[in-house]
């Protein structure tokens, strides 16, 4: 409870009173004045909303574009990319419709010397058949240490290239 000045007789009146006890004039409450703490609270709220908006926009931007497979390729060792490109070429040569082939990026599986790439069925390697239908394809491709010579290519169990070194265990 606070005391305010009566607008008619200027005597102190409780702000809870409906009228001035002295002159009977109706008590008119002054418009609420924003205190320092109120202003500070408003600023905090404002800044909070701003931060939330920034977070939201940032979040949306991060969510929106799925990382392109090319981004993964770009961050990989250049020799591995070269070897994968050699395999892509060999796969295109093996395909009935070279332009209808889809070769997704895959990592090099070789543990020592040369390169090996494998796509299991369902990995996204597709080849178009004579009717233009995309056929889920399995393929394994082995590249020599030079990174460009394909020495092994097996597509759906068919050995298309098989020049693997004989001494290989
Ligand atoms: Zn009064």
Strands (E) located in 12-145: 12-14, 115-119, 126-128, 134-136, 139-143
Instruction: Name 76's Cβ contacts closer than 8 Å, sequence gap at least 6.
Output: 107
Question: pLDDT per residue over 77-125, tens digit each?
Answer: 788 999 999 999 999 999 988 999 999 999 999 888 899 999 999 999 9
Q: Which residues surround ligand 1, an ion (CB under 5 A)?
A: 6, 8-9, 20, 22-23, 25
What pLDDT, on the 0 to 100 scale, is given for residue 142?
95
The CA-based diameter of the chain, rounded to the nearest angstrom, is 116
Q: What is the pTM of this model?
A: 0.53
CA of 136 to the centre of ligand 1 (A): 92
Tokens of residue 142, six digits: 């082995």
60 confidence band (pLDDT: 50, 70, 90): low
CA of 37 to the centre of ligand 1 (A): 32
> Minimal CA–CA distance to 94: which of 125, 133, 131, 73?
125
DSSP 100: G
Q: Which residues are paired to 25 by β-bridges?
A: none
CA of 24 to the centre of ligand 1 (A): 6
Residue showing tokens 């990026």: 105
């Amino acid at each position: 409870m606070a005391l305010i000045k009566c607008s008619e007789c200027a005597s102190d009146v409780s702000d809870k009173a409906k009228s001035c006890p002295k002159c009977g004039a109706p008590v008119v409450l002054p418009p609420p004045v924003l205190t320092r703490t109120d202003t500070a609270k408003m600023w905090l709220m404002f800044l909070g909303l701003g931060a939330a908006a920034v977070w939201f926009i940032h979040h949306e931007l991060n969510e929106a574009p799925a990382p392109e497979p090319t981004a993964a390729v770009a961050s990989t060792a250049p020799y591995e990319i070269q070897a994968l490109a050699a395999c892509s070429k060999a796969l295109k040569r093996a395909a009935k419709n070279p332009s209808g082939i889809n070769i997704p990026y895959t990592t090099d599986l070789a543990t020592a010397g040369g390169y090996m790439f494998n796509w299991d069925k369902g990995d996204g390697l597709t080849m178009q058949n004579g009717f233009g239908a995309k056929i889920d394809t399995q393929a394994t491709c082995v590249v020599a240490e030079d990174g460009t010579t394909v020495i092994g290519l097996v597509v759906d169990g068919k050995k298309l290239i098989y020049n693997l070194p004989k001494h290989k265990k």
